[in-house]
A and B are shown apart, each in its own frame.
Chain A
Amino acid sequence: MSLTLEQVQRIAHLARIEVSESEALATQGHLNGIFQLIEQMQAVDTSGVEPMAHAQDLSQRLRDDVVSETDRRAAYQAVAPEVEAGLYLVPKVIE
């Protein structure tokens, strides 16, 4: 499997990364190199091997349902570019 230039540009768009034509070409080369590697790995017989969800063979630790956080809005909003009426302001977005 290999990626077309169009697919590389779509992935860049989805990740909100701006790439120029030449960068996209270089990235296409890198990504397709990775796909070649994956293709080689796919030749290995993995029947009977359970799919791995995490690199560590441990299970998720759980916390009790307790409110442990206090209101620190003032501190968090002190570093925000713009706030008003307790809200973070961002460029207008309406889908």
Chain B
Amino acid sequence: MNQWEVVIGIETHAQLATVSKIFSGASTAFGAEPNTQACAVDLALPGVLPVLNKKAVECAIRFGLAIGAEVAQKSVFARKNYFYPDLPKGYQISQMDLPVVVGGNITLQVGQGDKAYEKVVRLTRAHLEEDAGKSLHEDFHGKSGIDLNRAGTPLLEIVSEPDMRSSDEAVAYAKALHALVRWIGICDGNMQEGSFRCDANVSVRPKGQAEFGTRREIKNLNSFRFLKEAIDFEVQWQINEIEEGRKIQQATVLFDPDSGETRMMRSKEDAHDYRYFPDPDLLPLIISSDWINRVKGELPELPGQKRERFVNELGLSAYDAITLTASQEMADYFESTVAIAGKANAKPCANWVMVDLAARLNKEGKELVESPVSAAQLAGLIQRIADNTISNNIAKKVFEALWNGEGATADDVIEKQGLKQITDSGAIEALVDEVLAANPANVAEFKAGKEKAFNALVGQVMKAAKGKANPQQVNDLLRQKLAAG
């Protein structure tokens, strides 16, 4: 049997965060009554002309700069012609030959833990275009209902190179892109409302073959889970087809989340012939270098820059740095924690945010912004570990108490619940003596060379101390006593 390689490219439509439409002054607010935000331009009434929204262009510039792409100083709008009732003009204004953003790349992390690896996905282009309206096919006496509120909403279509080799890589790319557009404030990323949707071009080829296989395009995937499920199904389907001696036909397919299957929407023969041509209603878009430089100056610190700083200034591993910059919320939370706990505690801060806090949030199905434990509270806790007031084990108890609102600060919880670590060596020594006297069998085993017996003794001392003895001191004292005795 052949070894197959999967090839995936992704086109993403990101709705830009403007208050008005790309070519008209109608509102883009979500959820309005049908057609109350569709003006004469959106309806394509005779005699209207489009006028380009400056903010939409600025969003495209921001994106281009954030991915290290070339922002075209001159780009051109074109008409993409097709007939559909939710497209009143009979064409969509888009960009074809001269898009506003060319090239660029995104660095992502695929997988978790030891299996994690870094991947760079190249982008082909990003261009500005308008969204279409919405068709409702429920029965209106055998007719379709058309809502044109969404018509003319500004979109940035972001096209990747076919650089992804698995559904996991595709999802990692979509997540990184999703985080980035929110990070730079050009898209709210709300996938339920359709603000961020992906089309995946999928093909397979025998491993080692240079040419790509024939691809099929899966349209309109509006969740990361559907993206993964759709690609996994599609890949298996294509492999089965080929192994059973059939050829893949180029086609556009839809994913049905209920059945978990993809099904053909149209074949290559019915593929649209869009007859693009430059839109005579719109002059070329000229973006000055002054404008580009101003936008560059206003960009926040980008995920890549933050990653580098986390590695160089805070001594974190590349893996930690990428994980912590997966979203702006995560990066902000981590940085607020470090700001209070101190740079010297950056590594424990990273661990608490990425491991303990993340696991707890995950368990409750909560987002980071909903965390009952604030960055300041977590920092307070980490400080008490650092200064030996509590051990790591006790810290987990304190964290749980903070999560449940049993205290305002870590200090508060430690005080109220009497969790302060015993560091008085006299007190610990007394406990050690007690345990040694009560467990002669373990002592004998240790002396016979059984290291396990030592751990048992440590456990006994910790138990006697109700977990509050400083583990290092317990270790040291035990070793001393056993060596002496």
Say yes or no for A86: interface residue by CB 8 A criterion. yes
Is the CB–CB distance between A65 and B39 below 8 Å? no
Contacts of A92 in B (CB 8 A): 137, 142-144
| B binding-site residues for A, Cβ under 8 Å | 18-20, 24-27, 33-40, 43, 45, 51-57, 76-77, 81, 83-85, 98, 135-137, 140-148, 265-266, 273, 275, 278, 280, 282-286
Say yes or no for A41: interface residue by CB 8 A criterion. no
> 21 A-B Cβ contacts within 8 A?
A14-B81, A14-B273, A14-B275, A59-B283, A61-B52, A63-B25, A63-B54, A64-B54, A65-B54, A66-B25, A69-B20, A69-B24, A69-B25, A69-B27, A69-B37, A85-B145, A86-B34, A87-B35, A90-B144, A93-B84, A94-B137
CA A50 – CA B343 in complex, angstroms? 56
User: Shortest beta-carbon distance, A93 to chain B, in Å?
Assistant: 5
Q: Mark A45-60, 1 if CB is under 8 A from B, else 0.
A: 0000000011110111
Is the CB–CB distance between A91 and B144 below 8 Å? yes
User: Shortest beta-carbon distance, B292 to chain A, in Å?
Assistant: 15
Shortest 9 CB-CB distances between A and B: which pairs? A68-B25, A87-B145, A65-B55, A86-B34, A59-B286, A62-B54, A69-B39, A88-B146, A53-B76
Task: Decide: A67 near B25, CB < 8 A? Known: A76-B43, A87-B34, A92-B144.
Answer: yes
Is the CB–CB distance between A53 and B84 below 8 Å? no
Majority-rule SS of A interface residues:
loop
CA A86 – CA B143 in complex, angstroms? 14
Contacts of A67 in B (CB 8 A): 19-20, 25-27
Is the CB–CB distance between A84 and B266 below 8 Å? no
**Other A-B pairs beyond A65-B54, A92-B144, A95-B266, 7, CB < 8 Å:** A54-B283, A62-B57, A67-B27, A69-B27, A77-B35, A84-B145, A89-B146
Contacts of B286 in A (CB 8 A): 59-60
Task: Decide: A65 near B20, CB < 8 A? Known: A72-B39, A76-B43, A90-B85.
Answer: yes
CA A54 – CA B55 in complex, angstroms? 23
CA A8 – CA B139 in complex, angstroms? 37
